[in-house]
Amino acid sequence: MKIIKLNPIFLLTLILFGCGTTSSKTPSPQNQVKLESIGEKTPNPEGLRHFMDGQMMMNQGDFAMAILEFQQALELDPGVGAIHTSIAESYWNLGKPDMAEKHLNIAIGLDPSDEQALQMLADQYILQKKYEAAQQPFNQLHKLKPDDAKYIIALAELEKVKQNISGAIQLYLEAFDLDPSRLELLETGGRLALQNKDFIQAQSIFKRLTFLDPDQPKYMGMYIDLIMNSKNYKEGIDALKSMNAEYGDSPDRTAQMGLLMYRAGQKEEALGLLETAIEATPENPNYYFPLFDLYMDNNNYEKASKVADKLVSNFPEDWRGYYSRSLVYLEDKNPGNVITLLEPVSDTFNKIYSIQYLLGLSHNQLKQFEDAQKYFSKALTIRPDSPNVLHSMAILYDEVKEWDKSDKIYLRLIKTDSTDAQAFNNYAYSLVERNQELKKALTLAKKAIALEPENASYLDTIGWIYFKLDNHEKAQAYIELSVKINGENAIVLEHLGDVLMKIQKTDDAMDYYKRALSLDKNNVRLINKASPE
């Protein structure tokens, strides 16, 4: 193995991520330096001849003969560190790292400022993956040349290997301060801060990068994501305003500012900025989505649908447009249109979870259970542990009375997440609707209530279980509380009517049946209850 002197940061990268072999006949770029070093000592002429012969042998790959020549040179010039360095290089190429290390340490002992020997020793430690040992020569090199960024970078890489991420970050920042043209050093520090979950430091670093390279969208994108995470929207807005003042307006900054203002609750300003950004660069689909979200949040479904329609027509290869349009259809309670829109592209987007899931959801709403199961299964193939799909499939199996399958899903959900209140509640409601294992259903419902005590649906479930257990007082209390929280659910209103009818409060029961019927006008069961005559 022929040693080639490498930049420490490059060598570290090579070792950590793989390296190839090098030719034993490749001359070492250190040889000229060694000769100059020998010359500076006014060597014994015979010793110099042996040294030069040794260099020639080493360059020819005859390392054993090279060592013999160097040793003869050393006998004539015993205090020359460069000779020890050459011997070390030859031993290393012969696969004798211990002997190489011994002679490098002798060279460093003769001259602690021997940069060549220190760097070779550090490189050899790295090749042997002795990262702790490599730190000492790199520290010495850094002291010798404190303004040379490459040694700081090498130390930073060693800190990464040791999993001292905070130490690595500080060293990268220090290296960047020495060489501000190398933005990749600052970026590496920022990404390490993210890895270390130090979002405050990451946000600060990516903010610097955004100002240093305003035309690089990845820096601003990362900075805005971190602002969203910290919810410090004002800082982000102020930073973007400052950038616009310094560099001039840009559609990307305008759109990002609109998004931040939207998150900060400044919806009117956000609306104007996002619409401006789209007018300036209609070919960028990323500006449409925050505008779509804003319209949806404001319940302006007409404008939201127009934005989604533009996405579908202008960017047919982007699944997000179809997804956005489907959300509007679902808000309009029109699952049939979702199916009409998505089924022709379901194979094109067969790896997109959201497309498959919405198709399953829409078929399920239309009680097309076989098709719903097909698309839910596709979505589950993409995300095997998706709680949304698992919950939807469990409800589907309840609908078709395949309770063995639904029970398995509920138990899986509860085992996976003991705080999944929906799983506890739905399992309880499934049991009570079957009129089976009511005590178990009550236990499950109590867990759901403990997790979400003000959830109207969960209050109705436990109330309905108490009704089935003939505890009408508790049934009435829980279901009335559910109605108080949400009085627009036909099933809950019907349940309260049934409880009141059971305790012979007929007039009150009829009022609730009629309220339920007004919400579910074609429900035959409610028609019969509300008009018994």
Structure tokens at 45: 């002429």
Q: What is the pLDDT of residue 263?
A: 85
- pLDDT tens digits for 12-31? 443 343 333 333 333 344 44
Structure tokens at 71: 């040793």
Q: What is the pLDDT of residue 88?
A: 84
Of 277-281, 311-315, 355-359, minimum mean pLDDT range: 277-281
- pLDDT tens digits for 105-161? 898 888 898 888 888 888 888 888 888 888 889 888 999 999 999 999 999 999 998
- pLDDT tens digits for 161-200? 889 999 999 999 999 999 999 999 999 999 999 999 999 9
Exposed (0-12), middle (13-18) or buried (19+): which is 245, by Cβ within 10 Å?
exposed
| Residue 206 confidence (pLDDT) above 50 | yes
| Residue 58 confidence (pLDDT) above 50 | yes
Given phi > 0 = left and psi -120 to 50 = alpha, else beta, which region is 150?
alpha
**Which residue ranges form the domains of the chain, and what is each CATH number?**
1-129 (1.25.40.10), 441-530 (1.25.40.10)
Q: What confidence tier does 372 reach under pLDDT thresholds 50, 70, 90?
A: very high
Q: Report d(CA 30, CA 87) in Å as an integer.
A: 13
Cα–Cα separations (whole angstroms), residue 130 to 16, 74, 166:
12, 29, 21
Instruction: Give the pLDDT mean for 293-322.
Output: 92
By the 8 A CB rule, do 285 and 295 touch?
no
Looking at per-residue pLDDT, the higher value among 252 and 439 belongs to: 439
Q: Report d(CA 131, CA 126) in Å as an integer.
A: 6
| Residue 10 confidence (pLDDT) above 50 | no
Which contacts qualify for 276-281: CB closer than 8 Å, 24 or more apart?
Answer: 276/251, 277/251, 277/252, 280/251, 280/254, 281/251
Q: Which residue is associated with the tokens 């447009």?
A: 321
Q: What is the pLDDT of residue 18?
A: 38
Looking at per-residue pLDDT, the higher value among 58 and 340 belongs to: 340
Q: What is the pLDDT of residue 11?
A: 46
Q: Report d(CA 395, CA 95) in Å as an integer.
A: 67
| Residue 7 confidence (pLDDT) above 70 | no
Q: Report d(CA 209, CA 206) in Å as an integer.
A: 5
Looking at per-residue pLDDT, the higher value among 532 and 524 belongs to: 524
Across 97-172, the runs of DSSP E, i.e. the strands, are: none
Q: Report d(CA 144, CA 486) in Å as an integer.
A: 74
Across 82-124, the runs of DSSP E, i.e. the strands, are: none
Of 1-10, 247-256, 419-428, minimum mean pLDDT range: 1-10
Average pLDDT of every residue of the chain: 88
Looking at per-residue pLDDT, the higher value among 248 and 339 belongs to: 339
Looking at per-residue pLDDT, the higher value among 219 and 39 belongs to: 219
| Residue 520 confidence (pLDDT) above 60 | yes
Instruction: Give the pLDDT mean for 209-228.
Output: 92
| Residue 37 confidence (pLDDT) above 70 | no
Q: Report d(CA 65, CA 58) in Å as an integer.
A: 8
- pLDDT tens digits for 69-81? 888 888 888 888 8
- The pTM assigned to this predicted structure is 0.63
Structure tokens at 469: 């257990």
Q: Report d(CA 365, CA 378) in Å as an integer.
A: 17
Cα–Cα separations (whole angstroms), residue 363 to 324, 327, 335, 372, 392:
18, 14, 7, 5, 11
Exposure letters 456-476 (e unless 16+ CB within 10 A, then b): bbbbbbbbbbbbeeeeeeebb
Q: What is the pLDDT of residue 283?
A: 83
Task: Report the percentage of the chain scoring pLDDT > 70.
Answer: 92
Given phi > 0 = left and psi -120 to 50 = alpha, else beta, which region is 470?
left
Q: How many CB atoms lie within 10 A of CB 58?
A: 27
Across 347-409, the runs of DSSP E, i.e. the strands, are: none
Q: What is the pLDDT of residue 25?
A: 36
Q: What is the pLDDT of residue 29?
A: 42
Q: In 3-state terms, what secondary structure has residue 34? A: helix
Q: What is the pLDDT of residue 533?
A: 61
Q: What confidence tier does 532 reach under pLDDT thresholds 50, 70, 90?
A: low
Exposed (0-12), middle (13-18) or buried (19+): which is 449, by Cβ within 10 Å?
buried
Q: What confidence tier does 2 reach under pLDDT thresholds 50, 70, 90?
A: very low
Q: What is the pLDDT of residue 505?
A: 94
Q: Report d(CA 3, CA 123) in Å as an integer.
A: 9
Q: How many CB atoms lie within 10 A of CB 139?
A: 16
| Residue 41 confidence (pLDDT) above 50 | yes
Q: What Rg, from alpha-carbon coordinates, does the chain have? A: 36
Q: Report d(CA 161, CA 154) in Å as an integer.
A: 11
For 458-522, the DSSP string reads HHHHHHHHHHHTT-HHHHHHHHHHHHHH----HHHHHHHHHHHHHTT-HHHHHHHHHHHHHHSTT
Instruction: Give the pLDDT mean for 200-227.
Output: 93
Phi and psi at 218, nearest 5°, equal: -65, -35
Q: What is the pLDDT of residue 134?
A: 86
- pLDDT tens digits for 252-291? 888 889 889 988 888 888 888 888 888 888 888 878 888 8
Q: What is the pLDDT of residue 374?
A: 96
DSSP annotation of 27 reads P
- pLDDT tens digits for 327-338? 999 999 999 999
